[in-house]
Amino acid sequence: MSLGAVRIDVPVNKILRKGGITNYTFGLKTSTSQKSSALYFDNFVVQELENGEQLEYIIRYEPEENWFYKKNRDLAIYSGRIKIYNLQAELVGNMEIENGQLVPAQQQKLNDELECMLVLDYIFCIGDVNGGEGYSCSYHYNTECSSPSSGGGGYIPEETPYETPTGGNWGNDPTGGGDTNNGDPDIDTRPILPDDEDIDTIEDKINSDSLTGKAKCLNDLLDKQGASFVQELLENFRGESEFDIQIESKDDLYGPDGKLVNGLTFEPSNNIINIQISTNAAASRPALSVVRTILHEYIHADMYRKLRTEDQAHTNDVLNFKDTYEKFENGNFQNGAQHETMAELYIDEMTKSLKEIHKNAFMGDYNYLTNNGASPLPDNFYEALAWNGLTEEGKVVEAYNQLSDDKKAALQESLNFYYPSITTNCPETD
């Protein structure tokens, strides 16, 4: 069993348990950067008993990818396996969790003649029984069965082919349970999650190392505090996705017509989608407008992913996108099928995301402009911002043309009024 060194960058978690037991949890470094490796992270748990005896265990968490690659890994919705080993690398406990709930093992009836009894095997608890941070336990029993011997006179033990977790769901017993048999583990732990620097695969899929200055700061902000739509968009390029993104800064960018542009996204090459953000164009613009540019280009990247995917198990989202895209591609619209599709399918989500990001990530700016939220900016402002890049002179998308004159006037009026007041600084540099 390969283990990493003890992490010294995070404090040890200490839990005092009823009965005089003290549990210490140490984080261990893990190696999960190889795509072929199983995903896991380890904790080292030391128990000090009231009589001075010391017990030690390795807790190995083997999460599912859709939990592991989230930026905010919440144990309340953990999905995957948790394995408990002693220091001889012997497995002494094993459980499966799905969305924070214990998954009972499948019980198999060997035959009608077996007589079985449940024997408590181990208890595993997460949280702090005294700390007010939530305390949850799962109770695991082995089923010991026996059958009449062929010669009569007693029972011959049958090997139990399964483990039967019982005693309620993950997180139901606030008392900490009872004693276990034969010194089997009775473990309390507050898990120490892996550091992102230990998990190269997370950043490998969206490489922003070549972004600089304001664009780098705002991209990091979008990644950490973006709305649910943004997080779902970026999740498509994490884990074992078909495509990677390389996003970088360039001083100036020029579109196909030779005019300066804020950003560009290029078709995949060797399954890498390159996004470029103009440093000079971003310098004097409101920060929220630059966020809109980065989001706009990520949507282009996701469109290329949907168009080029070789995954045969297409979701309804991908199929609906392709139907819309093909409609505009066959219609020969002047602004191009991608912008026309973005206008029809993404404007509402972009509007909501820009509003949420302004409120939650640009709190100082938002509170100043809205009198601490008492007078919120109108939705028309965020919608008008979302339309930017889709309404260039001579290249106005069809969805915008179909808006009423009154609606277009309201959008423009709101943009003209609020746009100059939005901060030009990334919040980290305010």
pLDDT for the residue 176: 33
pLDDT at 152: 36
pLDDT confidence of residue 281: 95
In this structure, of 2-16, 116-130, 218-232, 372-386, the range with the lowest mean pLDDT score is 116-130
Alpha helix positions (H), 346-427:
347-361, 363-370, 379-387, 398-401, 405-418
> What is the four-CA torsion angle of 14, 19, 20, 23, rounded to 10 degrees?
-30
* Lowest model confidence (mean pLDDT) among 85-89, 207-211, 275-279, 375-379: 85-89
pLDDT for 141 equals: 55
Q: Is 252 buried (19+), middle (13-18) or exposed (0-12) by CB count in 10 A? A: exposed
Residues 6+ positions from 185 with CB-CB distance below 8 Å: 55, 57, 84, 92, 93, 122, 123, 124
**Mean model confidence pLDDT for the chain:** 77
Cβ atoms of 242 and 309 closer than 8 Å: yes
Residue recorded with tokens 């066959």: 330
If we measure between CA atoms, which residue out of 277, 314, 279 comes closest to residue 298? 277
Distance CA 203, CA 186 (A): 37
More confident residue, 254 or 225: 254
Q: Give CA–CA dist 295/106, Å, rounded.
A: 45
For residue range 341-352, what is the model confidence (pLDDT) as tens digits?
A: 999 999 999 999
**Closest alpha carbon to 384 in 362, 414, 358:** 414
Q: Return all residues near 405 (Cβ < 8 A) that are at least 6 apart.
A: none
Taking CA 223 as the corner, what is the angle to CA 381 and CA 239, rounded to the nearest 5 degrees? 135
Pick from 169, 183, 170, 193: nearest CA to 42: 193
End-to-end CA distance of the chain: give it in Å, rounded.
Answer: 48
Between 39-43, 96-100, 331-335, the lowest mean confidence (pLDDT) is in 331-335
The tokens of 74 are what?
A: 């919440």
Interacting residues of 164 by C-beta distance below 8 A, sequence separation 6+:
104, 105, 107, 118, 140, 141, 142, 143
Distance CA 156, CA 331 (A): 77
The more confident residue out of 207 and 416 is 416
Least confidently predicted of 33-37, 200-204, 344-348: 33-37
pLDDT in tens, 89-111: 777 777 788 887 777 654 444 44
Cβ contacts of residue 59 below 8 Å, gap of 6+? 25, 42, 43, 44, 45, 82, 83, 84, 85, 187, 189, 191
124, containing H or E segment: strand 115-127
- How many of the other CB atoms lie within 10 Å of CB of 405? 7
Question: What pLDDT does 217 receive?
Answer: 93
Q: Is 61 helix (H, G, I), strand (E, B) or coil?
A: strand
The predicted pLDDT at position 22 comes to: 85
The pLDDT of residue 170 is above 60: no
174-183, 310-319, 351-360: the lowest-pLDDT one = 174-183
User: Measuring CA to CA, which residue among 2, 144, 165, 29 is closest to residue 93?
Assistant: 165
